Each structure stands twice: as structure tokens, then as C-alpha cells.
């Protein structure tokens, strides 16, 4: 069916693939739920490179025409039963002090009760994590009586782990070496150190809108200011808007989650990442890029990072294994480009060292192949959970509700009818032992009042069903 593509090669071959498949869907040849040819198949059949087909499928996925199902393939997406998606955000283009940490504390404290069904925290259910495998590794390490396991591991951190991370870097488009990397106490510390390496109190940081509350807290705690960039629910920040903000304000750094952002689930197309890096490079503005969800993209090959396009060392890439392997191990890392030695010094001053045993364990897990297998299973579970929760929301929440359709991860950003105040919803839900993350946590000035973030990281179907139904009932009563 793709013969004309092979015979009409142009510089934008992937666009031809995109057009062709879009056309087949539009005319009804391919229908909702149909499987489309696998990347390998299309590539070998039509003599197009795998990477060209992959690029085309990513674009089609971003356009919402097809969807990747982990360990299965690509399918034409069904739109009939899904709730609509939220529109791009349009925060005011002003610089603001940040004040969310009081609210975040309240929400976090409240959710600690084990009777509470937690749809609020972005934590994968422990049942999805490779406990047994990690336990075996720790056991083996312990039996070696290696004194290194209990001794200091000073910055830049455990060398074999840094090597493992570097070895995987081509997957996100980079060719890092162990020396480029500094291990940290989770991505939270990585982002902290990176932002401190490039900016100081009073400086303006540009962020997505909405953005992860942890970022807002970091900015707040360091006495910096934030300016919010309008953001598309699928494609991430709007580059034109960022450019205007840069003209208007003296932006010291950008802090972005370029793949599967939290809470929006947006992923910047690789083309946009490249443009972003170039735009910032022209003005020597550093980009702190958080990629903690990047490995959780449902497509068989994960997307690149902005770091892949970094020629000037201005991108400080941060990530961790908290969302994929073991949150409580607190193993994260930074590849801070030209700010490497400053970040290393700050690491020493901030926490002196990262715990050694967790680093050794993760390193071993990466080295002996457990990670990729685990990741495939995990993504499949998250995809299922996300479909399950989305379906429940569309059945139980008010009709006007809009929901994001992230291409990975396990977070949904839900726009409720204007009349529903999510802080009131949160309070009432908590009284009924349900925890959600209210929208105002994700904005410096507590906007997004009729939004909530739902985590699909939990797996107890009955509890989730019950909780979503209850939330729906509460919303009916709120006005």
C-alpha cells in the first residue's frame, strides 16, 4: 500500500509516510482499532529506514491519529468514547513569586493515611516495581562483604553506574561518557543543583504551565521567580510564546520536562526540542531538562531529549530511576554540560555523597539486562491503567470533563467543569478517603482551579473504580 512513497523520495520522506497513513485513516481504509504495519515491516517492505518510519509514527502519535500499545504495536486511535483534550494553556506573561509549598505540604500530609485511596501522588504501585530482582541483587552485593557498599562514594558518584547511564545515552540521542554524569539523591537534587549552578535568588526561571509542583517549590525555596510558558497538552511549550517572553523578560534559565511532562503529559516533538535548544543557545540561556518519565514512553523506541541537540553545553539534563525502578533508592543523575564542575561542587556541599548501596544495586540492574525487560512490562501495565482510568473518568465525571492523552507515563491531567473548585473537591474527597492532586499545586499563583491530576500508578481496580465513582458524585454536589 505504500509503494508510491518508495518511488517519490523527497527530503521529508517521513512526512510522506505521515500523509499517506493520515489519508488512509480519513478515507476509512484504516479504522479505529486497526493495527497499522509495524515499523520493521514497513521499513523492509518499502525500503525506508527504520528511523524515518519511527519519526513518522511519532508524528502520527503526537497528532493523535495512531497510538502505540506497549509490546503490541501501533493502532489507529479511537476517538469516539474518549473525553476531549484540554486546550493549550495561556498563563499571564508576568513574572511572579512562587507560593505553593504550603498547599503541597497539606496535600502530602493528608495522603499518608493508609485507608486513603491515593490517586494524588505520582508514585508507581510497589507491586509494579522489580522488588524481587532488586532484593536478589542487594543480597548478592551484601554477601560479597564489599566495604565500598558502606563507605562514602564522593561526587561525581559511583563510576560503574555512571558508565551504565552513559551506555544508554544513545537511546535518548546523546553520546555521554561516565565523566559527563554526576549521580544525585534523586532527580529532585539534580534539578536543585543544576538550577543553583546557573541562577541565583531573584533570577527569573521560565517553566511550563502547568508545571510539576516540586519545581515550583525549588524555585520558591531558592528565592527565584517564575514566568509560565503557554503549553500544548500534547506538544509541550509553545516556542513562539517562549520567544516573546524572552524578549520581554530577562530569563535566566528554562526548567522543562520535555518528554511526558508532569502533570500535562505533553511531549515536545523532537523537531521542537531542536528549535528550543537553538533558540536558547542564541541567547546563552541554559535549559534544565528533566527526563524522569522519558523511559516510560509507550512507543517501542523512546524519544530524544533536548540534550541530543545541545552543541554549546547549555543543556543540563536531569533524570532518575524513581519512576521506573525504585523511588526509595533515591538514585538520580545530572549531565550538566558546561556546568559540570560547578554542579559537582554543589553536590558535595548539599549532601556530600549519594547513598552507595542503592547506586550499586541500580548499576547492577542496568548492567544485567533486567531493566529493559522490566520497562516493557511496566509500560504495558501503565498503558492499561491509563486506559482504564480514562474510561472510568468518561463514564463517571461530568460530561464537560476533558482529559489528556499522554503517550506514556501514568499521569492524567483532568479539566473539570468551571464550577468545580478542585481544592474543595480535594477536601471533600479526602474526607471520603480519596486523595487527588488539585490543579493549583501546579502553578506559581495557584491557578488551574478546576483541574486535577490523577495518577494511574495504582493497580487495585476495585478501589480505583469506587474512588472515581465517588469523585464523580462529589462533583455533582459542588457548585
Binding site for a copy of itself (CB under 8 A): 101, 104-105, 108, 112, 121, 123, 126-127, 129, 131-132, 134-135, 138-139, 142-143, 145, 147-154, 185-186, 188-189, 192, 196, 200-201, 214, 217-218, 220-221, 223, 322, 325-330, 341, 344-346, 348-358
Q: Are 195 and 339 in contact (CB under 8 A)?
A: no
Distance in Å, CB of 463 to a copy of itself, minimum: 16
At its nearest, how many Å lie between a copy of itself and the CB of residue 179? 13
- Residue 293 has phi, psi (to 5 degrees) of -100, -5
Quote the least distance from Cβ 141 to a copy of itself, whole Å.
9
Question: Which C-beta is closer to a copy of itself: that of 52 or that of 359?
Answer: 359
DSSP letter assigned to residue 128? G
Q: Decide if 231 contacts 268 (C-beta within 8 A).
A: no
Dihedral Cα 93, 95, 101, 107, nearest 10 deg? -10
C-beta neighbour count of 466 within 10 angstroms:
15
- Distance, CA of 265 to CA of 409 (rounded, Å): 8
Nearest to 20 by CA among 6, 40, 32: 6
Query: Can you tell me the distance from the alpha carbon of 309 to that of 276, in angstroms, rounded to the nearest whole number?
Result: 9
Smallest separation (angstroms) from a copy of itself to the CB of 28? 48
Cell 564489599 sits on residue: 146
Question: Which residue number, 92 or 223, has a Cβ lying nearer to a copy of itself?
Answer: 223
All three cell numbers of 138, joined, read: 542487594
Nearer to a copy of itself, 200 or 248 (CB): 200
Query: Cβ of residue 144: shortest distance to a copy of itself, in angstroms?
Result: 9
Least distance to a copy of itself, CB of residue 336, Å:
15
Q: By C-beta, is 358 or 408 nearer to a copy of itself?
A: 358
| CB-nearer residue toward a copy of itself: 169 or 446 | 446
- Of 265, 465, 459, nearest to 381 by C-alpha is 459
CA distance 225 to 255: 12
Cell numbers for 245: 517572553
Q: Which three cell numbers stand for residue 128?
A: 509494579
Give least dist CB 412 to a copy of itself, A.
20
Shorter beta-carbon distance to a copy of itself: residue 104 or 436: 104
Residue nearer to a copy of itself on the CB measure, 159 or 171: 159
Distance of CA 393 to the CA centre of its chain: 21
Amino acid at each position: 500500500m505504500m509503494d508510491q512513497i518508495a518511488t517519490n523520495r523527497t527530503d521529508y520522506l517521513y512526512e510522506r509516510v505521515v500523509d499517506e497513513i493520515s489519508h488512509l485513516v480519513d478515507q476509512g481504509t484504516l479504522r479505529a482499532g486497526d493495527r497499522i504495519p509495524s515499523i520493521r515491516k514497513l521499513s523492509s517492505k518499502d525500503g525506508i529506514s527504520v528511523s524515518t518510519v519511527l519519526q513518522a509514527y511519532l508524528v502520527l502519535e503526537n497528532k493523535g491519529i495512531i497510538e502505540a500499545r506497549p509490546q503490541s504495536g501501533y493502532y489507529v486511535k479511537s476517538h469516539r468514547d474518549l473525553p476531549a483534550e484540554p486546550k493549550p494553556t495561556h498563563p499571564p506573561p508576568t513574572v511572579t513569586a512562587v507560593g505553593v509549598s504550603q498547599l503541597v505540604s497539606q496535600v502530602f500530609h493528608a495522603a499518608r493515611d493508609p485507608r486513603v485511596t491515593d490517586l494524588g501522588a505520582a508514585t508507581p504501585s510497589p507491586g509494579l516495581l522489580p522488588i524481587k530482582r532488586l532484593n536478589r541483587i542487594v543480597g548478592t552485593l551484601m554477601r560479597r562483604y564489599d566495604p565500598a557498599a558502606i563507605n562514602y562514594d564522593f561526587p561525581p558518584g559511583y563510576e560503574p553506574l555512571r558508565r551504565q547511564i552513559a551506555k544508554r545515552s544513545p537511546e535518548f540521542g546523546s553520546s555521554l561518557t561516565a565523566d559527563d554524569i554526576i549521580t544525585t539523591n534523586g532527580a529532585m537534587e539534580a534539578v536543585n543543583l543544576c538550577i543553583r549552578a546557573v541562577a541565583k535568588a531573584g533570577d527569573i526561571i521560565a517553566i511550563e504551565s502547568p508545571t510539576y509542583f516540586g519545581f515550583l517549590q525549588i524555585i520558591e525555596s531558592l528565592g527565584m521567580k517564575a514566568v509560565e510558558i503557554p503549553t500544548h497538552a500534547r506538544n509541550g511549550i509553545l516556542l513562539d510564546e517562549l520567544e516573546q517572553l524572552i524578549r520581554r523578560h530577562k530569563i535566566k534559565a528554562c526548567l522543562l520536562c520535555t518528554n511526558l511532562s508532569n502533570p500535562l503529559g505533553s511531549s515536545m516533538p523532537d523537531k521542537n526540542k531542536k528549535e528550543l535548544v537553538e533558540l536558547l543557545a542564541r541567547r546563552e540561556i541554559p535549559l534544565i531538562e528533566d527526563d524522569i518519565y522519558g523511559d516510560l514512553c509507550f512507543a517501542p523506541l523512546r524519544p530524544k531529549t533536548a540534550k541530543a541537540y545541545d552543541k554549546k553545553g547549555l543543556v543540563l539534563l536531569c533524570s532518575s530511576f524513581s519512576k521506573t525502578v525504585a523511588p526509595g533508592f533515591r538514585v538520580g543523575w545530572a549531565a550538566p554540560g558546561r556546568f559540570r564542575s560547578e554542579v559537582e561542587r554543589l553536590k558535595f556541599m548539599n549532601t556530600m555523597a549519594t547513598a552507595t548501596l542503592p547506586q550499586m544495586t541500580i548499576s547492577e540492574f542496568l548492567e544485567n539486562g533486567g531493566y529493559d525487560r522490566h520497562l516493557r512490562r511496566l509500560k504495558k501495565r501503565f498503558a492499561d491503567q491509563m486506559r482504564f482510568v480514562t474510561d472510568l473518568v468518561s463514564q463517571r465525571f461530568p460530561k464537560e470533563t476533558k482529559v489528556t492523552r499522554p503517550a506514556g507515563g501514568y499521569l492524567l491531567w483532568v479539566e473539570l467543569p468551571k464550577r468545580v473548585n478542585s481544592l474543595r473537591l480535594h477536601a471533600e474527597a479526602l474526607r471520603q478517603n480519596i486523595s487527588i492532586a488539585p490543579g493549583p499545586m501546579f502553578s506559581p499563583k495557584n491557578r488551574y482551579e478546576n483541574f486535577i491530576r490523577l495518577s494511574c500508578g495504582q493497580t487495585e481496580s476495585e478501589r480505583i473504580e469506587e474512588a472515581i465513582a465517588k469523585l464523580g458524585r462529589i462533583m455533582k454536589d459542588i457548585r
